[in-house]
Amino acid sequence: MGVAPSSPHPAPDEALARLREHRPLVQCVTNAVVTGFTANALLALGATPAMVDLPGEAGAFAAVADGSLVNVGTPHAEQRDGAREVAAASRAWVLDPVAVGALPVRTALARELLAAGPAVVRGNASEVMALAGAGQGGRGVDALHGTDAARHVAEELARTSGAVVAVSGEVDLVTDGTTALRVHGGSELLTRVTGGGCSLGATTAAFLGVCAPLPAAVAAALVHKLAAERAAATAAGPGSFAVAFLDALASLTPDDVGAVAASRVVEAQQGARP
């Protein structure tokens, strides 16, 4: 691949190889709907999940975890305090602004957390636009906007916040404000399973344990899309798809990822703004 093993900017296949070797310890402060699926996705991928979100424990744990996720999907009072501890103590964490926009508690929390400096912000187009103050948010966890509609806002958000911004959708967009990469692939079935997006935030946090934010977000997006494709090939519906998706996260090899990375991860051209 032309990248030294110690580089913080590995290609996605090398990022996966590192993750499998190091089994990063990933803390999740996440919503009540997807805790089980998220932990299973991390275990399947090869990481070590720990759902430590309690005030008085979350901060100390963040300081030793290899990566942390803060997802504001069901931000009850105690968990909001746990989230603040993580934001203050973690070296490398992902903010997932689930359904921000019209809902006031999570929107205020997400903006407060954004100011604390996440390494990556991951959301769908509507969530990223709403977090940046550029839209009204989606319909629950559904995006009303396509990824490309959010590109300008995502780049601006990356520049002002210092975070890598990852916008997921039919095509994913990952940007640090200077470079913007599109990640192609995936399956529509992933939108028919709860936790598809939320688990992507968690696997991004896992990759933060083995590389820098931009390659971490790209590797996570690509691995999810490839696992979704593999699962969709055998699934009879959304139930069997979710099961096969976990199997695919476990069976995907660095070689599988390396074989398609160049064609699936493509730099977005400067003039191609909508």
**Applying CB under 8 A, which part among 12-20, 145-153, 212-220, 229-237 lies near its own copies?**
229-237
Residue among 230, 158, 29, 185 at smallest CA distance from 168:
185
Distance CA 58, CA 30 (A): 12
Residue among 173, 178, 172, 143 at smallest CA distance from 158:
178
In our burial notation (b when 16+ CB lie closer than 10 A, e otherwise), range 4-25 reads eeeeeebbbbbbbbbbeeebbb
Residue among 40, 31, 62 at smallest CA distance from 208:
62
Sole binder of its own copies in the list 121, 149, 244, 257 (CB under 8 A):
244
194 scored as a contact of its own copies (CB under 8 A): yes
Q: In this structure, are residues 130 and 99 in contact, taking their beta carbons and an 8 Å threshold?
A: no
- Taken as a whole, the chain contains a residue count of 274
Sole binder of its own copies in the list 5, 236, 267, 274 (CB under 8 A):
236
User: How far is residue 77 CA from its own chain's centroid?
Assistant: 24
89 scored as a contact of its own copies (CB under 8 A): no
By DSSP bridging, strand 180-183 and strand 48-50 are unpaired
* Per-residue binder mask for its own copies (CB under 8 A), 150-189, x = binder: ----------------------------------------
Sole binder of its own copies in the list 10, 12, 67, 75 (CB under 8 A):
75
Sole binder of its own copies in the list 2, 5, 6, 140 (CB under 8 A):
140
Sole binder of its own copies in the list 12, 149, 205, 245 (CB under 8 A):
245
| Range 5-64, binding its own copies (CB under 8 A) | 25, 31-37, 39-40, 43-44, 48-54, 56-57, 60-61, 64
Q: Which residues contact its own copies by CB under 8 A?
A: 25, 31-37, 39-40, 43-44, 48-54, 56-57, 60-61, 64, 73-78, 99, 102-106, 139-142, 191-195, 235-240, 242-251
